[in-house]
Amino acid sequence: MPLGSRRIPIETADRLFTYLRPLFCLRTEGKGTVSSQELAEICDVNPAVVRKDFSYLGNLGTRGVGYDVGGLIEAIRLALRLDREIGLAVVGVGNIGRALLEQPRLEFEGFRIAAAFDSNPEKIGTRVGRMVVEDAADLEERIASKAIRLAILAVPEASAPKVARRLAAAGVKSILSFAPCRIAMPENVKVTCMDLSVVMAQLVYKSCLDEEVVATEPEGAGAGLPEAKER
């Protein structure tokens, strides 16, 4: 009998993250159990998808009842390696870096900002949110000594690749970059680029697709079924 040890499809893993936040809300609201039907409506997916996804984590549900909210949260956090706190560095204290430092939200979700860097002498030593901005010149040493493996890169595009290489050399394994440029990295360092233009273009494209469907089907069923298909 499978015990939650099957390989989790990457698409399932992605969805598991998105289940997590509504589950937190439900727990806060005091809801003890949730059915695949309910969660599916909240997350805008098919109920069968929800059940299939959870089945990879083991037999979490109770037939006729649903899933225990707390149990789900724990199982997901365990499966996704979110069970331990993850320290991260914010590199670049411009508008975006400041936004991250000033809102403590990340801290609730298993992440902990452990360092903030900037190269501007006027910013070094100042306090932003909970952190004191450190000199980017000390980046390698500080990151290595704190064993930080995750960094958010919020520096100008021009210096992003160089700073990224320094981070990788210091032992960082995952970089979330806000610079809209390609960052070449060795195979063992993962980089995700938050490119707003790309995201917005995709958003607009999807809206355009909808319009064409409407235009092509003038006798459409109107505001009929919820059409639980996203992406």
Partner DNA sequence: ATGTGTGAAGAGCTTCACAGCC
Partner DNA sequence: GGCTGTGAAGCTCTTCACACAT
In the block, residue with structure tokens 């998105």 = 18
Beta strands at 111-118 and 127-128: parallel, antiparallel or unpaired: unpaired
Options 45-53, 102-110, 118-126, 138-146: segment touching a copy of itself (CB under 8 A): 102-110
The residue among 94, 80, 91, 85 whose CA lies nearest residue 168 is: 91
How many residues line the site for DNA (CB under 7 A)? 28
Residues between 16 and 55 with contacts to DNA, criterion CB under 7 A: 35-37, 45-49, 51-52, 54-55
Q: Which does 59 bind (CB under 5 to 8 A by kind): a copy of itself, DNA, none?
A: DNA
Pull the structure tokens for residue 104: 């403590």
Asked if 207 is part of the footprint of a copy of itself (rule: CB under 8 A), the reply reads: yes
The residue among 107, 35, 18 whose CA lies nearest residue 69 is: 35
Q: Which of 10, 147, 196, 215 binds DNA (CB under 7 A)?
A: 10
Asked if 95 is part of the footprint of a copy of itself (rule: CB under 8 A), the reply reads: yes
Q: Read off φ and ψ for residue 141, nearest 5 degrees.
A: -60, -45
The residues facing 62 across adjacent strands are: 66
Angle at 63 between CA 58 and CA 67, to 5 degrees: 60
Asked if 197 is part of the footprint of a copy of itself (rule: CB under 8 A), the reply reads: yes
Residues between 62 and 91 with contacts to a copy of itself, criterion CB under 8 A: 80-82, 86, 88
What's the burial of 91, exposed, middle or buried (CB within 10 Å: 0-12/13-18/19+)?
buried
Asked if 97 is part of the footprint of DNA (rule: CB under 7 A), the reply reads: no
Asked if 65 is part of the footprint of DNA (rule: CB under 7 A), the reply reads: yes
Asked if 112 is part of the footprint of a copy of itself (rule: CB under 8 A), the reply reads: no
Asked if 84 is part of the footprint of DNA (rule: CB under 7 A), the reply reads: no
**Binding residues for DNA, per CB under 7 A?**
1-2, 9-12, 35-37, 45-49, 51-52, 54-55, 59-67, 229
